[in-house]
């Protein structure tokens, strides 16, 4: 394996890892915002915070926003 090939492989892996991290951040931001609006709609009752997050995750998946993720 040449030095150029190794460099290209490392660069490809770094780009892929960065894309995955960015996708994860975008996913969490979307879910967080959606959960906030669910909480606002029910008056921010603290007892249902986890339900808001889980419902937001479900909505994310149902809207087909997930790339390569499963339920």
Q: Could you read off the pLDDT of 21-30 as tens digits, one per residue?
A: 778 889 999 9
Residue 59 CA to residue 49 CA, distance in Å, equals 15
DSSP state string for 13-52: HHHHHHHHHHHHHHHHHHHHHHHHHHHHHTT--GGGHHHH
Residue scoring higher pLDDT (3 or 60): 60
Structure token digits, residue 42: 């029910």
Would you say residue 33 has pLDDT above 50?
Answer: yes
Q: Considering only 7-11, 13-17, 59-63, which range has the smallest mean pLDDT?
A: 7-11
The whole-model pTM stands at 0.64
- Overall size of the chain counted in residues: 71
CA atoms within 13 A on the CB side of 36: 6
């Amino acid at each position: 394996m040449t030095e150029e090939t190794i460099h290209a492989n490392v660069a490809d892996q770094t780009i892929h890892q960065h894309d995955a991290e960015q996708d994860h951040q975008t996913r969490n931001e979307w879910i967080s915002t959606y959960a906030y609006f669910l909480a606002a709609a029910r008056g921010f009752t603290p007892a249902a915070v986890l339900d808001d997050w889980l419902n937001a995750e479900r909505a994310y998946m149902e809207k087909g926003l997930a790339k390569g993720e499963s339920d």
